[in-house]
Amino acid sequence: MYYLSPNAKVGENTKIGYYSIIEDGVIIGKNCSIGHHVIIKQGTIIEDNVEIADGTIIGKLPQKSANSKTTQIENNLICKISPNVRIGSNSIIYAGATIEEKVFIADLVTIRENVIIGKGTIVGRGVCIENKCKIGENCKLESNAYITAFSDVEDFAFIAPGVITSNDNYVGRDPERVKHFKGVIVKKGGRIGANATILPGKIIEEDTLIAAGSVVTKDTKPRKIYLGNPAKEYKDVPEKQLLENQ
């Protein structure tokens, strides 16, 4: 048994699991699989051949704490899931997120409002992508990575497990900080190793490699390897590892 609003539309051959809730104005395409205990919030659009596993929430409206400086409550936010997307169990995708074709989203992922995720990207278990981010095509964001608000990750980027990005040089104090929030930019083919930390507003240039555990405090040069705390230029990325040679 599940609840399907009389104002929702569901395409042929779509299956809905036990105790799921499909709210008003939802549109679900053909040949989709909706697991048990899934909640699809008002106005969400899900296109053909999408798989959503148990316990996931799609189209959740943002909530704002009294002290939040980055969250804005906006009306008429719509979550859109493109064809052939797969979403794991107990993930939350907010209203205002756009997930493009053939994206894979693992279990326990949070994707906030006003986020775009490009075609073919993989989002690993436990990843958090905060609001107002853009993730390019064919990226890999591995388990437990944190993408801070206002960040831009371009095509073919690789973000290893446990990577932390930040957007507030004032570390939560001083009203002046609101004027200077700035996420990170990872250019095309940039790679960041496990447990690295990227400070606010820093640019990881095209085909740059950041070694595991490094702390990036300055913009990088393209096609270079950086390592250490603070991260310093080490050597060129080997030719066979460059994106153009893959």
pLDDT tens digits, residue range 45-64? 999 999 999 999 999 999 87
The backbone region for 206, taken as left when phi is positive above 0, alpha when psi lies in -120 to 50, beta otherwise, is beta
- CA angle at 99 for the pair 94 and 100, rounded to the nearest 5°: 170
Mean pLDDT across the chain, nearest whole number? 95
For the entire predicted model, the pTM comes to 0.94
Predicted confidence (pLDDT) per residue in 170-206, tens digit: 777 777 777 778 999 999 999 999 999 999 999 999 9
DSSP string, the chain: --EE-TT-EE-TT-EE-TT-EE-TT-EE-TT-EE-TT-EE-TT-EE-TT-EE-TT-EEEEPP---TT-SS----SS---EE-TT-EE-TT-EEETT-EE-TT-EE-TT-EE-TT-EE-TT-EE-TT-EE-SS-EE-TT-EE-TT-EE-TT-EE-TT-EE-TT-EE---TTTT-SGGGGGG----EE-TT-EE-TT-EE-TT-EE-TT-EEPTT-EE-SPPPTTEEEETTTTEEEEEPPGGGSGGG-
Beta strands 27-28 and 45-46 are: parallel
Amino acid 178: pLDDT: 77
Amino acid 67: pLDDT: 65
70 band by pLDDT with thresholds 50, 70 and 90: low
Amino acid 107: pLDDT: 98
CB-based contact 166:181 (threshold 8 Å):
no
- Residue 71: pLDDT over 70: no
6 band by pLDDT with thresholds 50, 70 and 90: very high
Predicted confidence (pLDDT) per residue in 83-123, tens digit: 999 999 999 999 999 999 999 999 999 999 999 999 999 99
Q: What DSSP state is assigned to residue 185?
A: E
Question: Residue 129: CB partners within 8 Å, gap ≥ 6?
Answer: 109, 110, 111, 112, 115, 117, 123, 135, 141, 147
